[in-house]
Amino acid sequence: MIVLLVLALFGVVDGSVDLTVTEKATGRAVVDAVVDIITQSCVFDNDRLMLRRIAYAETRDGEASYTFTRGGGIWQVCDIGQTGNVENLWWVRTLL
């Protein structure tokens, strides 16, 4: 019982922050964490680290100076053309 209490307190005291939900967080650790979450969800079947590669190619894992200035964040994704096409992707809903 005491061990569980100590472990619980350590998790609170260490000050760790989930950078995957922190606005404008950047770096390889953030990209790896997001890619891991998406991979574990099994939305994409064997994507061969596509999201990892896009993040590095587009903004060097968010470390590029333009990462947040031109919109799109680490992966440089924008809203143009996205909302209109979602309705036609009925199969995406079957995966969720």
Domain boundaries in the chain? 18-95
Q: Which residues of the chain have pLDDT under 70?
A: 1-15, 79-96
- Residue 74, classified by CB atoms within 10 Å of its CB into exposed (0-12), middle (13-18) or buried (19+), is buried
Question: What is the structure's pLDDT at 10?
Answer: 47
Question: What is the structure's pLDDT at 59?
Answer: 93
Question: What is the structure's pLDDT at 3?
Answer: 43
Question: What is the structure's pLDDT at 4?
Answer: 41
- pTM > 0.85: yes or no: no
How far is residue 74's CA from residue 20's CA, in Å, rounded to a whole number? 11
Task: Tokens for 2, please give them.
Answer: 């005491």
Question: What is the structure's pLDDT at 15?
Answer: 60
Question: What is the structure's pLDDT at 92?
Answer: 59
Question: What is the structure's pLDDT at 27?
Answer: 93
CA nearest to 62, candidates 91, 89, 90, 28? 28
